[in-house]
Structure 1
């Protein structure tokens, strides 16, 4: 089952005896767990029929004993095992799958880990009738802007591509952090409105002018003055713009420019898909590829790797020296 299918079933009051939610991305696991908690039972019977325990505090036998109780004054009881990855032996829950109760909704919240699909426990979970087995897969970085756009749409708003890219660059791939920032953002915006970079600067605090996204654009268009001003801003605000983060993003940017050279004879849709970009940004990469031939990009990539090593203290006594970044900017642009 997909995340959306599980949510729709719950909205329609369709519940299953066992939900095993697992995977490396905790966001969807916590979202589903919370949604089941909020909707499985009427508030009047939660005191009697809802048990929430944590993996570090219980054994599999404790969980099974809770799950085999019958509900009081209601059709279901809800048993939620949070942080189930802390159970010493998750496989100890396997006997319950052989004789689960239809009157129990057991939710197992198993985060940050994959299950071994070779083991009997996974096979039993995947084959047992009325067991919802959901894997929450961590998104690749290039999928984050698309996820932001989709999430903003579900919240009843729109967001322009530059704004979603800016959020992605600065908030990384932690979906929970991004979602929390989006919730804070939309409190200040009228329903149905389009979120812009101005909104992000005003309500989240990410500068629309002095950020890595604008830094990349300045380098791509060979705007020397703008690139130097942004590098100086980074130096003045090292906590918001750590050198290691900047080098990673520059590496990713020039790698995409390099790949654009290899793909430029394909159609725009195929290029955007290969680069993991919104089509809106293709012209930026086309322009950058015209400014930077392949051999120059190879040299730049080598220089970025050198800066990355220096930022980690390799071959440098000061891993936070932004003078090396400004020197890199000069080399890239000349």
Structure 2
């Protein structure tokens, strides 16, 4: 029993990217052929959608909030064409344009055949996991975010699945992981956690990742930093960015990223191999990295993974971590 899951970090289809959506064959305009092929080659695809999908709403009235991301309705079809099965909306941009825009996002994604986790019309819906099926495997997906608290859903208010992680896992999240593990063959938890533009995960998030595995998660795949972090066994601490139009940090190079394809094998299902496609992000377009940029990513990911005892090998232009060999 085996399944492969393509995983991508922050995916922002608004602002400058939205302007690119007006061009012809939309998915081909946004993603290069190797990127599309990597997603198509996996059994499932899950990513963090860092925007709403709507043409309604007003900017969220949060003092000091600088960035508001809203993609046009056609963005849902772009994700379908790419081959995305599920997105998490638990992040700091799900309510950028208020409750109506979140409702539109949920409706448009559902109409496009894309499952959502991490946000909903009330607290119960925001915390609900989804179960995806492929190759005879049932994969439960859970989405949570540790910021911002004012986006948190309540029993009678739409919002995100907010989780305070500073002092360990909240009881509801631990129980949710256990419930998902009981109903599926494997559990993916994809948290939006930690501050932007950091080179490595904070200590408390390292502890939280291990606690999620202890609770029954099969794989933890994080995002939020916009920068690649290392991989430990069963943990991708931060996957970096997938597509956007963000300003580029000259040292941290958030314009270079990875598309991860994780192989789960068993029984019981466990992550046995990570194959990552190096990416180059231009404003509104993502392609496979080449040359010096590929080398930069290889060096960066190798050094980041070494902190967690994971070895990285270049194989056919991709970066591979093979946990079957103790790497």
Greater Rg by CA: 1
The structure whose residues are more often strand, as a share, is: 2
- TM interval, shorter chain, is under 0.3
The structure whose residues are more often helix, as a share, is: 1
